Amino acid sequence: MKKLLTLALAATMFAACGQKKDAPKMLVLYYSQTANTKVVADEIANRLCADIAAIEAVEPYNSDFQTTIERCMKECELEVLPDIQPLTVDLAQYDVIFLGYPVWFGTYAPPVAAFLTQTDLSGKTVVPFCTFGSGGLESSMNDLANVQPNADIRPGYGVRAARLQVVPQEVERFLIAGGFLEGELKPLADFTAQHPVSEEEAAVFDVAVNGYPMLHAKAVTVASRAGYDGTEYLFVAEDLPREGAPEMPTHEVQVYVLVADCQAPVFTKVVR
């Protein structure tokens, strides 16, 4: 009788989480300076009923933006990584590790870099997730694959810190798409072919990026498709020199923009 009750309780927990009954042992491991990444970590852990643990620096980073930038630049110049606290979990007990971090300077934050240099994740399934100002999921995943070549790196999830309100629905879709949650998703259509932006499309782009100081760009071409939450645009744009830095070279960037019903356009990420 006791065994039957235990099995029934386990089945109830899986149903509540939406996790597959034959799911492997999962850990959500994250570093978060301002609690933005923690929001995503908590959402994933709650959805999966997974264990959760934090990576913590011995000398915490000041929450002041400029102070953090200056410290990171100094550490980069000296080619040093911060010391981190010992983990409170045994990684050997887990098959799947959801690894979360904020994106700093185009890649995972230094405490996560320190963790990855000290830890061999060979044979583990690693699912990255991150928060960022404009982008960095793709570049950080490339760095992750380079430093952990024997891990199974799965497609990751990234969200702008300015869009944390969308985390519940986007994380649910992300976990279903990855096969970690039960459920079905309607396949999205491919983006249309890129074409020169019209005056109306250029206005959509300008509204989406207006006010973001790290992106001074002009849309050149665009593609679109119907997304889960509205119309999605993929702009190819020229990233122009910023005010006060005319010597900066121009770059081609991809800017993803969402126009939801009755809402102003917002950019969801930039791929540099």
Structure-block tokens of residue 91 = 């990684």
CA distance 41 to 60: 19
Question: Averaged over 12-30, what is the pLDDT?
Answer: 76
pLDDT at 6: 42
pLDDT at 64: 84
- The string of pLDDT tens digits covering residues 200-242 is 999 999 999 999 988 889 999 999 999 999 999 999 999 887 7
Q: Are residues 223 and 98 in the same domain?
A: no
Comparing CA positions, the residue from 201, 180, 161 lying closest to residue 21 is: 180
Indicate whether 184 belongs to any domain.
Answer: no
Report the mean per-residue pLDDT for the chain: 92
Q: Are residues 131 and 238 in the same domain?
A: no
- Decide: pTM greater than 0.95: no
- Domain containing 267: what range? 195-271
- 126, containing H or E segment: strand 125-132
> Strand, coil or helix: what is 252?
strand
Q: Is the pLDDT of residue 8 over 60?
A: no
Q: Are residues 63 and 139 in the same domain?
A: yes
Q: Are residues 200 and 261 in the same domain?
A: yes
- The string of pLDDT tens digits covering residues 217-228 is 999 999 999 999
> Strand, coil or helix: what is 209?
helix
Q: Are residues 173 and 206 in the same domain?
A: no
Q: Are residues 202 and 172 in the same domain?
A: no
Boundary residue ending a domain (124, 149, 177): 177
Q: How confident is the model at residue 248 (pLDDT cuts 50, 70, 90)?
A: low
Comparing CA positions, the residue from 73, 161, 150 lying closest to residue 110 is: 73
Q: Are residues 69 and 146 in the same domain?
A: yes
Q: Are residues 150 and 37 in the same domain?
A: yes
Question: Averaged over 31-39, what is the pLDDT?
Answer: 97
pLDDT at 212: 93
Strand pairing class (157-160; 125-132): parallel
Domain count, the chain: 2
Strand pairing class (96-104; 26-30): parallel
Q: Is the pLDDT of residue 15 over 90?
A: no
CATH code (residue 110): 3.40.50.360
Q: Are residues 15 and 137 in the same domain?
A: yes
